[in-house]
Amino acid sequence: MTFYRDRVLPHVINVVMNTKQTRAIRERVCAGLHGEVLEIGFGTGHNLPFLPPAVTRLLAVEPSKRSVELARQRIDSAAVEVEIIGLDGQGLPVPDASVDAVLCTWSLCTIPDATAAVREVRRVLRPGGTFHFIEHGRAPDASVRRWQDRFNGVQQRVAGGCNLNRDIEAIVTAGGMSVTKLDRYYTPGEPKAVGAMYEGVATPAA
């Protein structure tokens, strides 16, 4: 499983997370980012083409070395400076109140302690900073939630620890953030168990 997780899965994710549909979502989620941005779960750099011109620097956190290798061409051709700064979203290696925004796309499902990661988001944001996210998670319909719970163990094994059934809004709130914008929907063409989306923006709670 280690070989699959470290060498095979990054290639699979690189392909399946770069569709016309995911690109449209990434463009929406990246809108409004500016200044120095920290990205949790940088992956293979699929968000780079959608960073607005107002972004001056991207600090990237990514646990998979193979994913960073696959991202090299995108990093080299990016319009913004990209610095890989760490491996773990639960412990961001930057000072308090040091970035203007945090970006996280389809990563809170996999981080072991997602609430701790959101607490770190709150810590590193400057006053007025925003947290932009898109995640799949716990579905609004009870019948879909039952399937998510049933297959969550299988999903974790085949998708590198990814969880189907996390309540993303509750996690963001528990991490000390206030959700200011949230769209909930099922991604067209995907099974509802994996396509229940949380797309939103949050700010540090008062």
**What's the pLDDT tens digit per position in 114-131?**
999 999 999 999 999 999
Please name the fold of domain 2-204.
Rossmann fold (3.40.50)
pLDDT tens, position by position, 8-45: 999 999 999 999 999 999 999 999 999 999 999 999 99
Q: Which amino acid is at 122?
A: R
Structure tokens at 201: 């923006």
Sign of torsion over alpha carbons 129, 167, 2, 91: positive
Cα pseudo-dihedral 135, 44, 40, 203, rounded to 10: -60
pLDDT by 10s per residue, the chain, length 206: 688 888 899 999 999 999 999 999 999 999 999 999 999 999 999 999 999 999 999 999 999 999 999 999 999 999 999 999 999 999 999 999 999 999 999 999 999 999 999 999 999 999 999 999 999 999 999 999 999 999 999 999 999 999 999 999 999 999 999 999 999 999 999 999 999 999 999 999 98
Q: Where are the chain's structural domains? A: 2-204
Name the DSSP letter for residue 86: E
User: Global pTM?
Assistant: 0.96
Residue 129 exposed, middle or buried by CB count within 10 Å (0-12, 13-18, 19+): buried
